[in-house]
Amino acid sequence: MTDARRNTRQNHLELAQKVLNIAFERGMKAGDHLPEQGFSAACGVSRTPIRSAFKLLEENGVLSWKEEEGYFLAIQTREEQAEAVRRLEDLEDSLARRILSDRAERRIGEVQSASALVRRYKVSRNTVLNALKILSRDDIVTQLPGRSWAFQPILDSPNSVEDSVAFRLTMEPQAILAPRFTMDFKRAGLLRSQMEDILKLRNGSITCSGFRAIDTEFHSFIAECSGNRFIRGSLLTHHRLRRTTQKDASIPDFRLRQSLEEHLEILESLERNQFDLAADQMVLHLRKSRVRRPEAANRGIPPMKRGVQS
């Protein structure tokens, strides 16, 4: 596994996921042909990396290959796709991820020097620098003036969770209300059907991590549709942080379902261009999911006191 990890460029893992998403967005079925050039154009890279991604997907049984003809989709259902994506995500446990989890478990201290990490993880200096670059992009670590790197408080302290919800409560409705908000209907439809699929699962079999994945995707989607580039940017950054640092908590099944149904309602309102309604539903959704997290309940976020413009 370690060798495989070393042989497989991180880039290709990301690219492979992107390829898979595009294929399903285009409504491809098992047996369909995936033209290299089309994906090359869609991903904005040349054919060379696309081929690597295809090969990677073939190794994972997602694609099949025929000489002189190219690659073909080998899976059918969205469940299979989701599983494949999960497998790819497992592969890409980069050093950044390891460092993060070690920090989350408090196995390493708040302040680190690059060399210390080189020694601890027995990897090249460049690898560490790269990981730090990734982590600092999400503001998980910041470079102090000297030569030390400091971890920011992770999204696991009660205060942080509280701050996160407060942040989202101000930003997400505004993302919807910003002028030039434009829905990507295709992606919305895909999201909707994914959520409906999950809801169809029998009681108790919704996994928390599966829910979290789709939840983050939904909220990132809303952010991406926002017409305000600064609201979009800061929300996307925040969701990236949530995705990487949030911990699994056990949430009862019925609450997960409720949450997904709220997502669907918001999507419906947006599709009807009822932005005010969608924004209000978003506020309610966030407030409810706040109550849902046991550890954060009844802590000092002020009630509906006042708006941005009172």
Partner DNA sequence: TTCAGTATTATTATGTGAAAAGATACGTCA
Partner DNA sequence: TGACGTATCTTTTCACATAATAATACTGAA
| Cβ within 8 Å of residue 303, ≥6 positions away | none
Out of 147, 180, 200, 202, the only residue in the binding site for DNA (CB under 7 A) is 147
Stretch near DNA under the rule CB under 7 A, chosen from 76-84, 120-128, 153-161, 292-300: 120-128
Using CB distances below 5 to 8 A depending on partner kind, what does residue 3 bind out of a second copy, DNA, none?
none
Using CB under 8 A as the binding rule, whether residue 307 contacts a second copy is answered as yes
On whether the CB atoms of residues 296 and 161 are closer than 8 A, the answer is yes
Tokens 């979290």 locate to: 212
Q: Is 126 in the site for a second copy (CB under 8 A)?
A: no
For a second copy, what does the binding mask look like between residues 214 and 243, x meaning CB under 8 A? -------------xxxxx-xx--xx-----
197 makes contact, choosing from a second copy, DNA, none, with CB < 5 to 8 Å by partner type, with none
CA 223 to chain centroid: 12
Phi, psi of 149 (to 5 degrees): -115, 135
Check residue 124 for interaction with DNA (CB under 7 A). yes
Which residues from 35-74 bind a second copy, rule CB under 8 A?
43-46, 49
Residue 219 φ then ψ, to 5°: -70, -35
**2 touches a second copy (CB under 8 A):** no
Indicate which of DNA, a second copy, none lies near residue 33 (CB less than 5 to 8 Å, by partner kind): DNA
Tell me which of 8, 112, 164, 281 binds a second copy, using CB under 8 A.
Answer: 164
Q: 7-11 long-range contacts, Cβ below 8 Å, gap at least 24?
A: 8/56, 8/91, 9/52, 10/92, 10/94, 11/49
Nearer to a second copy, 86 or 133 (CB): 133
Q: State which residue, 204 or 302, has the beta carbon closest to a second copy.
A: 302
Intra-chain end-to-end CA distance of the chain, in Å: 57
| Positive/negative CA dihedral, 174, 176, 182, 184 | positive
| Residue 234 contact partner, candidates DNA, a second copy, none, CB within 5 to 8 A by sort of partner | a second copy
Cβ partners under 8 Å of residue 257, min gap 6: 199, 206
Show the tokens assigned to 84. Answer: 């494949």
Binding-site size, DNA (CB under 7 A): 35
185 forms part of the interface with a second copy (CB under 8 A): no
**276 touches, from DNA, a second copy, none (C-beta below 5 to 8 Å by class):** a second copy
Rounded (to 5) percent helix, strand, coil in the chain: 65, 5, 30
The three-class DSSP label of residue 157 is coil
64 binding DNA? (CB under 7 A): no
Yes or no: say if 34 and 20 are a contact pair by the CB < 8 Å rule. no
CB 231 within 8 A of CB 184: no
Closest distance between a second copy and the C-beta of residue 309, in Å? 4
Q: How far apart are CA 130 and CA 121, in angstroms?
A: 13
Q: 64 or 136, CB closer to a second copy?
A: 136
Which stretches of the chain bind DNA, using CB under 7 A? 9, 11-12, 33-38, 45-49, 51-52, 67-71, 113-116, 118, 124-127, 129-130, 146-148
Which stretches of the chain bind a second copy, using CB under 8 A? 11, 14-15, 18, 43-46, 49, 133, 139, 144-146, 152-153, 159-160, 163-164, 166-167, 169-171, 173-174, 177-180, 227-231, 233-234, 237-238, 276, 279-280, 283, 300-302, 304-310
